[in-house]
Structure 1
Amino acid sequence: MSTEPDVLGIYIPFWGDLGYLRTAVESVRGQTSPHWQLTVVNDAHPDRAVDEYFASLADEPRIRYIRNEENCGITENFRRCVQMATEPRLIVMGCDDFLLPGYVDTVMAAHRAAPRVGIIQPGVQVVDEHGNASVTLADSVKQKMLRPRTPPVKTLHGDRLTAGLMHGNWLYWPSLAFRRDAVQTHDFRDDFSVIQDLALILDLVLDGEDLLVLPDTVFCYRRHSSSASSLELVDGSRFEGERRFFRLAAALSGDKGWSRTRRAALLHLTSRAHALVLVPGALRTGNISAVPVLLRHAFGS
């Protein structure tokens, strides 16, 4: 008697643009593998056209649409997606990202080969707001400098993995496929909204979970040029949150005896460099109040 193949749970917490959401949903429907279940959780977005769109998909049994009665915010909506999952492996993707046709096949083949791996990171293509391939400084650093030089398929774990992530987070959260029982055992930390993804991954790895890195590029991560260059939001809150996170990471890894991670967290070199890179733009746009904030993060303790 043959067994039913495992299904990948794809969860999309939605608040944003319906056009991008359509692209995301259609990319799921266009998968070469039929073994997926899609759940979209609308965080009470006022555009009722979203409801109409999913009403038109009512005959697709693999798509579930949920509308929150009230807006709960991004962290709580992510939390709801994770906690409602029932599939053995799940992804919480951005509502503006999209899958390439082989994503489910690639991830679930890796899952069958290594079902106990906590996190799977496939290859990622960065695209701009129009869906065209894009190369940014941040992504060049991620993919060419920070991502470990590994064989085509490599499992990473422990102090080596978290030390690298403290130097610079080279993962793409929306593309990650988590083992359900692992990710449901942990929770998002409310104190770190700007860096909650890395905080959760740190907790998972500290708890013994491994990360499987795949070479296959099967996910498109949308990087909006407008938000990447925006400096009006630099009010210090992002970097203050990052400093608090790195202090926590140093303490947790120190308790674990992971000396490389502790040192990397205390240094947080890429985070400092990010602040420094923003200084010329702040001066150019007249955002003078941001300059001391950025310099304090770049050179402070």
Structure 2
Amino acid sequence: MARLSICIPSYNRTTYLCELLDSILAQAPGDVEVVVCDDASPDDPSAAMEPYRQRFAHFTYIRQPTNLGLFENFLSAVEHASGDFIWLMGDDDRLEPGGLDRVRAALETSPGITGMTVGVVDYDSDMRAPVGLRDMPPSQDLQTAEEVFTLIPEHLGFMSALVINRQQWLTVVSRYPAASFQNYYPQVHIIGLTLKHFGGWKIIHTPCVRYRSDNDQFGTSLGWVKRLKVDVESYDEVARNVFPDSPTTRRAIAAATLRTHVISRIVNLKTGSTEAVSVLPVATYLLRYYWSHVKFWTVALPLLLLPRPAVGWLKTLYRTFMPSSGARRVTRLKDGT
């Protein structure tokens, strides 16, 4: 049985999927399993997957006969794995050089953990140049679900940065009705409940994954307003269901959702989208969730109300001069400082 299974739920991204598999193959030792579950994609990757059966020591490819949807295909990838731990992976991302070795080393030194979150570098849509580095806390071990969801809730939404004990995952999924997890961030919900039952989470600060920017399938299919609501409502649902008796943790989750997902989507709307959005209904909607958060009044709402050129100018200033910006962090990473 493999120690680590890389689980890839996929839909209609054959080219990107092959690029991901090649990045794994460049690092994969013989004890790593790869599981690909294709959700009846129109661009059927079956022929493209055949060579990988010979190139990987442990490779499983499943093509669903009909489209199951995000949630069911996601679970199917995990169910077909056999490793002690599963590394969830988006089909358009790639491994960072050395990323697999860092994860395997962490599993060897901390075999009793429930899982881990790893560092992420944001790349452009062609994966040619890094454009940002996620703000990951220092490497450390956390013990409780409350600690994890207070410190890094926003990082749990990025599937490719997550490694989790497979048996513990399956145990939790079997204890709760499937409907409990059917939002757009099922892994966040499952990880929250798994941590409540078992505890023990690791943070690896060093980047292990490359994220492909400007390739959000949900944003394309749903539109900006619905995509914003996915983030807000999915995290709010997880907070209420997993931490009903911890208002402090729920507030930390809301603050992180506002600080990262909401504000970044507003900036992207104003600087990278031509979609026409009525500001007042959006402001009213966000007010219901974040009226008690200072950043709503001082950052999110002003950005929403400002004209697009002004937001573009502020974004340029932030990326250029603020040491805390992802662009400045990735520059320091490249420079080795």
Shorter chain as denominator, the TM-score bin is 0.7 to 0.9
Give the AA of the match of 2:39: D
User: Contact between 1:33 and 1:104, CA under 8 Å: does it hold in 2?
Assistant: no
Matching residue within 119, 125, 139 for 1:123:
119
Deviation digits for residues 47-85 of structure 1 (CA, Å, limit 9, x no counterpart): 24x222222334344222211111111211001111222
Pair 215,96 (structure 1): closer, same or farther in 2 beyond 3 Å: same
Task: Provide the residue aligned with 1:253 in structure 2.
Answer: 243
Task: Provide the residue aligned with 1:207 in structure 2.
Answer: 197
Pair 227,92 (structure 1): closer, same or farther in 2 beyond 3 Å: closer
Give the AA of the match of 1:115: P
Task: Provide the residue aligned with 2:170 in structure 1.
Answer: 184
User: Contact between 1:13 and 1:78, CA under 8 Å: does it hold in 2?
Assistant: yes
Give the AA of the match of 1:155: L
Q: Gaps (5+ residues) in structure 1?
A: none
1:226 and 1:189 map into 2 onto residues whose CA distance is 24
Pair 192,277 (structure 1): closer, same or farther in 2 beyond 3 Å: farther
Matching residue within 142, 149, 171 for 1:162:
149
Cα offset, 1:91, TM superposition:
1.1
Pair 133,171 (structure 1): closer, same or farther in 2 beyond 3 Å: farther
Q: Greater share of helix residues, 1 or 2? A: 2
Q: What value does the CA root-mean-square deviation take over the aligned residues?
A: 3.2
Pair 95,241 (structure 1): closer, same or farther in 2 beyond 3 Å: closer
Task: Provide the residue aligned with 1:57 in structure 2.
Answer: 52
Cα offset, 1:216, TM superposition:
2.9
2:131 and 2:162 map into 1 onto residues whose CA distance is 20
1:279 and 1:206 map into 2 onto residues whose CA distance is 36
Deviation digits for residues 21-65 of structure 1 (CA, Å, limit 9, x no counterpart): 1111111111153321111111111224x2222223343442222
- The percentage of counterpart residues that share the same residue type is 21
Equivalent runs, 1:212-251 vs 2, <5 Å: 212-224=202-214, 233-236=223-226, 238-239=228-229, 242-243=232-233, 245-246=235-236, 249-250=239-240
- Structure 1 range deviating more: 81-90 or 221-230: 221-230
2:269 and 2:214 map into 1 onto residues whose CA distance is 20
Matching residue within 3, 6, 25 for 1:7:
3
Task: Provide the residue aligned with 2:313 in structure 1.
Answer: none
Q: Gaps (5+ residues) in structure 2?
A: 290-337
SS of 1:200's equivalent in the other structure is helix
Task: Provide the residue aligned with 1:296 in structure 2.
Answer: 284
Deviation digits for residues 264-299 of structure 1 (CA, Å, limit 9, x no counterpart): 3465542554565467469x846244x234212332
Task: Provide the residue aligned with 2:12 in structure 1.
Answer: 16
Task: Provide the residue aligned with 2:324 in structure 1.
Answer: none
SS of 2:243's equivalent in the other structure is helix
User: Contact between 1:33 and 1:102, CA under 8 Å: does it hold in 2?
Assistant: no
Give the paired residue count. Answer: 282
Pair 235,9 (structure 1): closer, same or farther in 2 beyond 3 Å: same
2:234 and 2:119 map into 1 onto residues whose CA distance is 30
Deviation digits for residues 198-242 of structure 1 (CA, Å, limit 9, x no counterpart): 222222222242220113322112122687997970244642673
SS of 1:69's equivalent in the other structure is coil
SS of 1:186's equivalent in the other structure is helix
2:276 pairs with 1:287: yes
Give the AA of the match of 2:25: R
2:59 and 2:219 map into 1 onto residues whose CA distance is 35
Pair 18,265 (structure 1): closer, same or farther in 2 beyond 3 Å: closer
Question: Which structure exhibits the higher relative contact order, with contacts defined as CA atoms closer than 8 Å and separated by 6 or more residues?
Answer: 1
User: Contact between 1:247 and 1:265, CA under 8 Å: does it hold in 2?
Assistant: no
User: Contact between 2:113 and 2:201, CA under 8 Å: does it hold in 1?
Assistant: yes
1:130 and 1:51 map into 2 onto residues whose CA distance is 24
Task: Provide the residue aligned with 1:67 in structure 2.
Answer: 63
User: Contact between 2:32 and 2:58, CA under 8 Å: does it hold in 1?
Assistant: yes
Cα offset, 1:128, TM superposition:
1.7
